[in-house]
Structure 1
């Protein structure tokens, strides 16, 4: 017998070991689609969907006031006129990206918003880097929610810095936890680079640094205590303590202006808040300038020394990269050296000075209201998950929960906490106690440190942005991001507990439709008129009879697949409906009402009529022989010069005049006036009949003066419930939109064809 010829030969083909003797006998399918490939394809699909949603009709919406500022000054940079950093418009990074977009695509509304749309799409891939923490399913859920989140999608199509900051925050979190996992120094370099980009993009970076610093302090509290008492050297800190030192090294030079909080105590103006002063808001005056220079240099030298002494191999070079990037970008690559003072000092000083101004004048419950309308999915899932972990933690969380309840009760008592409509000493004390207890609460749960961080990040973001004087709709994205990650982690853990069996499919189907029926009946019970007296009694009785029947069915199924699995499958339809409503809310906001402030998310929006008027002006200029040299006068009353500065950026003969004064308009071809300064009788003779149009309009802010008692009464008042639901589902408003009007006048000499 020839043993060699009978020896089995195998080869690896497509991931399978194949027997040569059987290769012709059996049909073989190569293993092309492994788990990793499918996983990556899912993210590519989500990215393509997200990118399509962000690019669709990107240039159609009228340019918002803030967008026009960003677009105009980016255009000036693009044509070579330079740019000087101004903290009013936040960091310089946006202007550099937008001017680069103009370079590649030309200056238009589309290219103005394209960098935001691109970054808002690329962020979809970042959860891949967190799959070791979020889980494979959790990272997919995170990307899906980032793709369809109403607020994140809206501000991915809006020329503001906020979507850049979300990308930066998420990458900083990834870098921090990756470093904790593998101690690879590359993550320190990535962290330092994006810390710098965060500071040169927007001042919300300071809030994020405060959040991660507070978390790291708590996680290293024992090390810090022992170091203060001289029991251990600073080099013996745990990973959280060492990373805290790294964050302080990077941030210290940028925090110099924080001392201006105490300027009234030391009687030195370190951040000017007087609008009548010649000194720009946020910068120091007279002897405060020397003080500011000394403080800034001391903090810079401290960071250099600590990074060099503590761990020069790990911390010193990343710090040099960080400070170099800050220096280069704030000086616009050395073209504006004064950017050092505006970037390092005024960036923070300006917003400290603006804290009491409280732009937007929104109430403390603003983000609760906004979140419940748009981001109910991540908020709801996070709340349920947090409640479950609090119950699981038992006595550990009991004390802060009691303190929170007591603080809420006292703050809800107008007589105890308020005097003449203003919060008194008692109210301030319990407000601080409430904030501190809410911050401590997520750190008491029995869960992984990463879970604790996500809960802490979500709750502290809500508290800090609520406390901040300026409350605007775009800032809710900073609250939404941690809630999306948190809810994704919760969903990952939820679905890993859900067990599937082909033999139980019929039970899953019954549970699914039972859940839908339960939701439908509950909806009818809460929102519908069930009749009067006998009819109402019969309807309520019938609904509860069906509830009982459903309970009996589910109880029977639970004996087969267990109570836990029955409950899990019962929650899945609710999750599905929530997802559908989230996508619907996002679509209506971004594509139906994108420039009409029926949406609370839309803040004082330029009306679409102005967008059309700009096209009319372009057509008049094209039909005339003057083209871009046509004479245009724009009224500056009520800040009407914006967004016209953007729309008329290419016209050579535009003046922005205060038409409350006597302005010579004899040689003016096109007039754009505030409704307050409509033309008088004799002046009208040289112009066609004025076209009146809404200049900008805004959401009716009738919610601002709501009291705690109003919130309670809304819960139990069915009519108020119906009004709230009408808005939530159909965007029906009880009040008219606020608006301010404008007039377009065209000189009669122009034979304008409006066709």
Structure 2
């Protein structure tokens, strides 16, 4: 009889046949993963690409065109290659440019599932959830930078390390090697994580060796004691008792001894591991045995893989200090970016041969087959991507040598210019939920935890300290602190749950009790966060907090002994999780490209994408398509992100407009605001394309980093890693912090920011102008034949009179800053960008215009006027701030006098003007000028003769720190905007001190945050606050009385002001390039 063949099922069929039981746990995981996917992939393309994102996207797109070459400046090649693959499959746009980052973010969410043995069921779910909803990790999973890829590879290494330690399977060492390779192909900062891992593995190995030594010695002592004691004559019970007493007396493995011995072994553990086969006598003497501890195997693998890539560090730590090579000879940045000398190539080859041989010596004597295969595959993958699939052999140098050589040398650059406490700000602002859980359960993790929890502590503390110590501090690096924080918090939750030994089975009563604790905690914190200020509210807050704690305690006691820890943990999660979720939504979705969050260092503004759409519409309307001629200003890296958005255009010219006007004709010009003055003549030529009024937009804007100046221990120096003398080891620093908490309301300010994530100040920005043809209608996206209307006065949406607007025609502005009115009612406005002084009638119709420069044809002449004053004879005084001078014109705008010069020495002379910002003319005809950079006021005659100096640097009466605006009172008193001292000083006509009053909102360090003053007819003082977009009115004795702060059309960088005879106030809006008239509030 012939048997029928047995049906063979494929692996795929077996996998599809698996049925997952639909348990509550599976449902919860499904919901969390669905939310994580939505949070990372939904609406990825809505935010404008950040400067660095655009470079990475452009380089990835360029890889498909065959022109990518690895450069350490923009990190490793891995994510460029995977992103190029995404572009190849899905096309290139803003959404797909972030696709692989979102995938890496999902990998970070999923990988904790492989740590379930160590995290436990509650801890694993908590880790997945905390990572899925982490504000930091969600934000940077939607951001095309290398850090989220590095986080994924780091977590893969952690998973592989602990799976190998637990299981001993070699496959996990291969996974560990793959994670290492991906890390070094992504970012050089991975070596900081490797350092934390190596330190821990060394300590863990030392602890295991200490335990083996103590256990071996204990066993040996026990055998000796038993040999000396004759127990044969004893009855069995007595014999057993005697043996137990001997065993107890011989036991040496106590926590104290183990700790002391581990500390002794730790400095040498890595050396012992490297030479393990050769130290047999020592191993036998110390009872270590023959088998290498599993953590030691991971230590050896990681150390030997790191060693060759650490070769470049020898240049600055060994070779140059010992004089073996001359300084910078092997510097990649300075010498090795192109073809290199044969001698240098031989030197590099020799250095790598030495370190690779050392690594191979240690690795091959451990597990020769495993180490050899893993190292070969790792090196092959590394060099293949570094050389762009072997098409760029310079990658053999830029990768293994250039990567670490470049970034090690960049420590002096202090990128980000952030203070030592930067990551404390970020973590407590965004990762407050895991931090609270760590503070709650950290003691368990360190003192009563296991090897895994202590690893998580070492990882978190190590990377936090390393990043805080490093010179470069950027918000995306917080990714590498947030990840171990989430895992450690999850471990703490599992430990809290496990501590409840007699917990009842899950039931409706249990869930109701835990839910009640969470709801009470959240309700209390919600009320506390939104209660108004005041002493009564503070007392109520304390009572509310105490009441919430009492309720949670009652709930815990009702659940039985030992329930307080899990109930407290649930209360912490319940109180903080909604706030954390809201913070994440605000940062990642509500204002992803509006820098109100500390997570945003600098960001392309959303207007940039609008302009890109208009350029595309213009290209289609003209029929020129991708041959549309476009000029892009490259000053201050303005080419990015335009190089990405204009990647398909073939007629784009990237020009440095700071060197002069552009050659040729262009349908579109994108010009940095600071270069507008250099293209005035070009725009005025009849042969130039006639442009419509240009659109001013923030090209890049950034979070207002007032915390640097708030922490300024030394006056005038921001607290950064490179300045301020505000380090954590100075008593003055902590005294300053204490004063800020007790006297300056820092805790209240921080609580408001934690709650709202709104700094209360507009972001700083570097602006640009987009010039489009006058016959193009951006709203309709088509060409039009109507002629361009000359500018004329108009009104805003609420009927307020205004004139100006962005443009180069007479009557238009780019950066108007100050305004004055003459006896006839004519208005004068100075424009710092175009250097034009324009004269208008009382309603804003342009009458006359003049370039205030001595020679407008001289492109090298320095000039940037900021201040105006009117003399008794109609003279117009112009403070040319960065022309370092004063220019005086008659009523017909003809120049009649010029005086002042740039500073010539340490002690300024009477005519040395360091950024004269404003001027005022007294009834006696003297001209008072704020010599801002010298912190003084210089007094001259209208003919330019020096009279006297008023004031000196300082903060006392009659002293100044950044004096800016000037105004004249009805009694001849002079009002001075003492900016950095945050006050207005009132001086007598002879320059002596009269009085002062404080101005809250002054003191900002932005170069465009310069306030002006105007004394009104009723004696009140109008004060502009450009950074807050408001004008505040003070009473004559210095009390705030009213504000001009419209809501429908807010003020935009208000500067100079002038009152009309009818009691209205013209306000110059530098940010909107216009002048608007307001009713004066009572």
Residue among 759, 765, 768 paired with 1:739: 765
How far the C-alpha of 1:289 sits from its partner, in A, is: 5.2
- Give 1:475-624 correspondences, 5 Å limit: 475-498=477-500, 499-500=503-504, 515=521, 519=525, 528-531=533-536, 540=539, 561-562=559-560, 564-566=562-564, 568-624=566-622
Residue among 698, 702, 711 paired with 1:698: 702
How far the C-alpha of 1:44 sits from its partner, in A, is: 3.4
Aligned to 1:720: 746
Task: Please identify the structure whose Cα radius of gyration is greater.
Answer: 2
Find out whether 1:244 has 2:299 as its counterpart. yes
User: How far apart, CA to CA, are the structure 1 residues paired with 2:429 and 2:519?
Assistant: 26
How far the C-alpha of 1:656 sits from its partner, in A, is: 0.4
- Give 1:622-661 correspondences, 5 Å limit: 622-661=620-659
User: How far apart, CA to CA, are the structure 2 residues paired with 1:548 and 1:682?
Assistant: 70
Aligned to 2:283: 232
How far the C-alpha of 1:316 sits from its partner, in A, is: 1.9
**Maintained 8 Å contact 2:552/2:567:** no
User: How far apart, CA to CA, are the structure 2 residues paired with 1:553 and 1:663?
Assistant: 72
User: How far apart, CA to CA, are the structure 2 residues paired with 1:308 and 1:750?
Assistant: 71
How far the C-alpha of 1:272 sits from its partner, in A, is: 6.8
2:576 alignment partner, SS class:
helix
User: How far apart, CA to CA, are the structure 2 residues paired with 1:82 and 1:517?
Assistant: 57
Aligned to 2:200: 215
1:743 alignment partner, SS class:
strand
**Maintained 8 Å contact 2:36/2:106:** yes
**Maintained 8 Å contact 1:623/1:752:** no
How far the C-alpha of 1:746 sits from its partner, in A, is: 2.1
Residue among 708, 711, 714 paired with 2:734: 708
Aligned to 1:27: none
- Give 1:350-429 correspondences, 5 Å limit: 350-388=406-444
Unaligned stretches of 5+ residues in structure 1: 1-30, 390-441
**Maintained 8 Å contact 1:43/1:125:** no
How far the C-alpha of 1:682 sits from its partner, in A, is: 5.3
User: How far apart, CA to CA, are the structure 1 residues paired with 2:478 and 2:32?
Assistant: 23
Residue among 63, 84, 94 paired with 2:49: 63
Identify which range, 116-125 or 606-615, moves more after superposition: 116-125
Aligned to 2:67: 82
**Maintained 8 Å contact 1:269/1:284:** no
User: How far apart, CA to CA, are the structure 1 residues paired with 2:519 and 2:36?
Assistant: 31
**Maintained 8 Å contact 2:196/2:462:** yes
User: How far apart, CA to CA, are the structure 2 residues paired with 1:682 and 1:552?
Assistant: 74
How far the C-alpha of 1:742 sits from its partner, in A, is: 0.5
**Maintained 8 Å contact 1:83/1:332:** yes
Find out whether 1:342 has 2:342 as its counterpart. no
User: How far apart, CA to CA, are the structure 1 residues paired with 2:635 and 2:652?
Assistant: 16
How far the C-alpha of 1:709 sits from its partner, in A, is: 2.9
Aligned to 1:123: 108
1:121-142 per-position Cα deviation (integer Å, ceiling 9, x unaligned): 2332211111000011111111
Q: Whose strand proportion is higher, 1 or 2?
A: 2
Aligned to 1:295: 351
1:739 alignment partner, SS class:
strand
Change (3 A) 1:750 1:249: same
How far the C-alpha of 1:668 sits from its partner, in A, is: 1.4
1:405-433 per-position Cα deviation (integer Å, ceiling 9, x unaligned): xxxxxxxxxxxxxxxxxxxxxxxxxxxxx
Change (3 A) 1:221 1:330: same
Change (3 A) 1:623 1:324: same
Residue among 166, 190, 193 paired with 2:151: 166
**Maintained 8 Å contact 2:698/2:768:** yes
How far the C-alpha of 1:238 sits from its partner, in A, is: 1.9
**Maintained 8 Å contact 1:46/1:124:** no
User: How far apart, CA to CA, are the structure 2 residues paired with 1:306 and 1:147?
Assistant: 40
User: How far apart, CA to CA, are the structure 2 residues paired with 1:622 and 1:474?
Assistant: 38
Change (3 A) 1:130 1:571: closer
User: How far apart, CA to CA, are the structure 1 residues paired with 2:340 and 2:200?
Assistant: 32
TM-score, normalised by the number of residues in structure 2? 0.57
How far the C-alpha of 1:551 sits from its partner, in A, is: 7.6
How far the C-alpha of 1:189 sits from its partner, in A, is: 1.1
**Maintained 8 Å contact 1:62/1:610:** yes
User: How far apart, CA to CA, are the structure 1 residues paired with 2:737 and 2:397?
Assistant: 46
Residue among 321, 324, 329 paired with 1:265: 321
2:767 alignment partner, SS class:
strand
User: How far apart, CA to CA, are the structure 1 residues paired with 2:691 and 2:425?
Assistant: 47
How far the C-alpha of 1:621 sits from its partner, in A, is: 0.4
- Give 1:305-320 correspondences, 5 Å limit: 305-320=361-376
Aligned to 1:415: none
Change (3 A) 1:94 1:272: farther
Identify which range, 372-381 or 499-508, moves more after superposition: 499-508
1:538-563 per-position Cα deviation (integer Å, ceiling 9, x unaligned): x84x7777788778777776665446
Q: Which has the higher contact order (CA 8 A, sep 6+)?
A: 1
2:365 alignment partner, SS class:
helix
Q: Whose helix proportion is higher, 1 or 2?
A: 1
2:412 alignment partner, SS class:
coil
**Maintained 8 Å contact 2:668/2:772:** yes
User: How far apart, CA to CA, are the structure 1 residues paired with 2:39 and 2:508?
Assistant: 40
1:428-456 per-position Cα deviation (integer Å, ceiling 9, x unaligned): xxxxxxxxxxxxxx5xx332111110111
Q: CA RMSD in A?
A: 3.1
Identify which range, 606-615 or 489-498, moves more after superposition: 489-498
1:259 alignment partner, SS class:
helix
**Maintained 8 Å contact 2:430/2:580:** yes
1:174-232 per-position Cα deviation (integer Å, ceiling 9, x unaligned): 10111111111111111112211111111122112111111111112365648488612
How far the C-alpha of 1:167 sits from its partner, in A, is: 0.8
How far the C-alpha of 1:383 sits from its partner, in A, is: 2.1
User: How far apart, CA to CA, are the structure 1 residues paired with 2:346 and 2:747?
Assistant: 59
Change (3 A) 1:280 1:709: farther
Change (3 A) 1:319 1:160: same
Aligned to 1:461: 463
Identify which range, 317-326 or 727-736, moves more after superposition: 727-736
1:645-687 per-position Cα deviation (integer Å, ceiling 9, x unaligned): 1111000011101112234444211111111111305524532
